[in-house]
Each structure stands twice: as structure tokens, then as C-alpha cells.
Amino acid sequence: MKRRELLKNTSLWVSGLLLTPSVVVLKSCNPLKREDKWKSDFFSSDNGNLIFELIDTLIPNTEIPGAIEAKVHEFVESYVRDVYNKNKREWFIEELSNFNDKIKKFSSKSFFKLNIIEKINTLNEIQKKESGNSASFYIDLKKLVIRGYFNSKIGVTQALNYRPIPGTFKGCIPLSESGGKLWS
């Protein structure tokens, strides 16, 4: 083998080694497909994806991690599966299955095709309409999401003020003195 061919082959081999990690990193930056976000063990694929999107819309990531980061979707799944009685569980699943159709009545699109502003406005309209209804799926889901988030480590330690060993008790102080957050 000639020296030039050896240098050429070596440089191609080294270039291939350097390029491979770059391709892997770039490929990993692709956004997740809807079905790749969460695989529920209890809900159907469509219902699991809808729950995931609803929860992410209700408490999104900001400077504080959101409900998905706190694994609230898993909390809701286990709560519905393990805590609800059979009738309530069947009602929840049926209402969840029909919820995307209800969203289409308010926005004329599937929840997955709405942008974030449209999602929020649609959910607000549904909440206004169902606020007096004691058997509202959306209100029930929202209560579960809030309960799951503020009982998670992220909700307690990052969204609320948290001191594992509190100091003196001050019963009535302005919110500004507590750092602008409620106490956990």
C-alpha cells in the first residue's frame, strides 16, 4: 500500500469516527412523536396520549418543572386504576374517550392539533361551562393533576416554599415576606 492511500484511508476512518457521534446527537434532538411520549399500562394509547397532553397543558414547564417532570401522568393513571371504584373508573375512562370530541365542539380541531393558546382557551371554555356540574370529567382531572403535582417532590420543594426544618412560626404575614410563594 502506498503512503498516500494509507493517509487517505486513515483520514476517512477518523472522519467516520468523528461524524458518528454527531449523527447520533443530531438524531436524538428530533422532537418526540406523539405516541413516543408516554406508554400507559392502563389507558389505551389514544387516551394515554390525551391525558399526557392535558396534564402538560395544565401545569407546563416554566422556570419550575411542570407536571410531566413530576410524573403526574403516572399518578393519575395509578389513582384511577387503584383508588377509584369500578363505576367511577369506568366513568372516567368513558369520559376521557369522549373528551377529544368535546374539545372539537369548542375548537373544531382535535386537541393534538391546537397550539398552546388554543388549548388553554378551549380548556377554559370547558371549565366555565362545567363549573357547576359535580360530575365534570375535566374538573375531576384537574383536581387529580393539582393533587398529584403538589404532593410530588417537585411540587413541594420547588413550586412551594419548603423548609425541612422550619424556624419560628409567623401566622399572618404578607406573601411578599415568604418569598412570593405559599408554604408547603
**Would you state the pLDDT for residue 7?**
47
Helices (H) and strands (E) in the chain, counts: 7, 0
Asked if the structure places residue 65 within a domain, the reply is: yes
Asked if the structure places residue 5 within a domain, the reply is: no
**Would you state the pLDDT for residue 35?**
45
Asked if the structure places residue 13 within a domain, the reply is: no
pLDDT at 52 over 90: yes
Report the domain count for the chain. Answer: 1
Asked if the structure places residue 136 within a domain, the reply is: yes
Which residues are registered as beta bridge partners of 183?
161
**Would you state the pLDDT for residue 39?**
81
Measured from the Cβ of residue 32, the count of other Cβ atoms closer than 10 Å reads 8
Residue with cell 393539582: 146
Instruction: Give the three cell numbers for residue 91.
Output: 366513568
Asked if the structure places residue 33 within a domain, the reply is: no
For residue 134, the enclosing domain spans 38-162+171-178
Which residues are registered as beta bridge partners of 161?
183
**% of the chain with per-residue pLDDT over 90:** 42
In the structure, what pLDDT confidence band is assigned to residue 108 with cuts at 50, 70 and 90?
Answer: confident
Mean pLDDT (the chain) is 79
pLDDT at 25 over 80: no
Asked if the structure places residue 112 within a domain, the reply is: yes
∠ Cα 17 18 23 (to 5°):
95
**Would you state the pLDDT for residue 180?**
75
**Would you state the pLDDT for residue 76?**
93
Which has the minimum average pLDDT: 41-55, 102-116, 123-137? 123-137
Question: CA-to-CA distance for 43 and 90, rounded, in angstroms?
Answer: 11
pLDDT at 50 over 80: yes
pLDDT at 30 over 70: no
pLDDT at 32 over 70: no
Which has the minimum average pLDDT: 5-9, 10-14, 78-82, 120-124? 10-14
In the structure, what pLDDT confidence band is assigned to residue 8 with cuts at 50, 70 and 90?
Answer: low
